[in-house]
Amino acid sequence: MKRLPCLLITAVLLLFHYLPTAVSQAPAPAPDNHSRNNATDYIRSSCNATLYPEVCYSSLSRYSSAVQQSPGRLARVAIGVSLSRAHNMAVFVSNVSRQADYGSVPREAAALHDCFSNFGDAVDEIRASLKQMRQLDSPASSAQSFRFLMSNVQTWMSAALTDEETCTDGFEDVPDSLMKTAVCDRAANVKKFTSNALALVNSYAAKGSP
């Protein structure tokens, strides 16, 4: 791969670092109604059980009209938001990888490759979790199927979080650079959304009923 000027790589990294987040794949916000205050209070209370309550509330409160006071809807929306973030991260790493100078720091190139693979796996696992959550809306859903489906969701969301953490772990031995900072900072931010979604999933699963 031809070496790109350092300033060009820097410009590309900064461009992607500050691009606004793509439209979330979670359900679009419904119009406000008389129960909005109760719904937002419910979301804030639920978010207090997560590791990043402010991130949780700021990302999910806009969906209060759709969520109302349903733990299942809240968990599903949180998964949708985390899916969007993970997908955007995978796209970001892919673009950075294409612009990187693979001849200068081989360990850096390997870390980028592994990170892209990790986030690709995370996207697949979060998407599978969302699919399982949607099956809970089936009229035939029972307590037994609820436990089975939620167990799958918990397993896949946990795996997604592990994959995202593995991405940043891979950069521990990589020399400090603009690229490393950009990738690790964004990955750390995405992990917050996945962690919060998993916490809300666990809370919903603990209720033990569809």
- SS3 track for 77-106: HHHHHHHHHHHHHHHHHHHHHHHCCCCCCH
Distance CA 158, CA 145 (A): 20
204: Cβ contacts below 8 Å, ≥ 6 apart: 71, 72, 74, 75, 150
Q: What is the mean predicted confidence (pLDDT) over 100-113?
A: 78
Q: Is the pLDDT of residue 111 over 70?
A: yes
- Predicted pLDDT of residue 150: 95
pLDDT band at 140 (very low <50, low <70, confident <90, very high): low
Residue 13 pLDDT more than 50?
no
What's the alpha-carbon Rg for the chain, to the nearest Å? 19
Q: Which of 12-26, 33-47, 87-101, 143-157 is modeled with the greatest confidence?
A: 143-157
164-192 pLDDT per residue, tens: 999 999 999 999 999 999 999 999 999 99
Q: Is pLDDT at 7 greater than 50 in this prediction?
A: no
What average pLDDT does the structure give for the chain?
84
**Whole-prediction pTM value?**
0.80
C-alpha pair distances (Å), 94 with each of 100, 132, 146: 10, 28, 36
Q: What is the pLDDT of residue 137?
A: 74
Which is higher by pLDDT, 31 or 72?
A: 72
Closest CA to 26 of 69, 87, 96: 87
Cα-to-chain-centroid distance, residue 3? 33
pLDDT of residue 107 exceeding 90, the answer is no
135 backbone φψ class: left, alpha, beta (φ>0; ψ -120 to 50)? alpha
